[in-house]
Amino acid sequence: MKPETLSFYEKVYEVARQIPYGRVTSYGAIANYLGAKRSARLVGYAMNGSAGKDVPAHRVVNRKGLLIGKHHFEGTNLMQQLLESEGVKVKDNQIQNFEKVFWDPSKSL
């Protein structure tokens, strides 16, 4: 725990923090940017450690744009509330206009 070294987790946190306001991205996109699209699970796993940090995990969703990680959040619709508060339309844990709000780190960074 607390890998202050340049570990995969730290990279995921960094990228997650770079997510613009009102934008979302997928685990695969981050993993791909890190050069390990096969390790999409690691990104989600890293998000586990993001709890309590400045990492907007609510902006990170799966490839389908579904708020799969909401179960890990405090409440049930807290993740949805946060996204809607940022201008992202969310319907029943499903992001609307996912293609529009989708943010690709590989293209932005």
Using the minimum distance from each CB to DNA, give the nearer residue, 2 or 91.
2
Category of 19 on φ-ψ map: left (φ > 0), alpha (ψ -120 to 50) or beta: beta
Beta bridge partners of 25: 60
Closest distance to DNA from the beta carbon of 49 (Å): 6
Q: Using CA atoms, how far apart are residues 53 and 109, in angstroms rounded to an integer?
A: 22
In whole angstroms, how close is the CB of 89 to DNA at the nearest point?
19
Residues near DNA, by CB under 7 A: 1-3, 7-9, 26-28, 31, 36-51, 57-58, 60, 62-64, 68-69, 71-73, 79
DSSP state letter for 54 = T
71 contact partners, CB below 8 Å, separation of at least 6: none
Residue 22 or 73: which CB sits closer to DNA? 73
Taking the least distance from each CB to DNA, the nearer of 47 and 101 is: 47
Instruction: Quote the least distance from Cβ 99 to DNA, whole Å.
Output: 14
Please, what is the minimum distance in Å from the beta carbon of residue 70 to DNA?
7
Nearer to DNA, 22 or 49 (CB): 49
Q: 102: closest CA among 50, 60, 41, 42?
A: 60
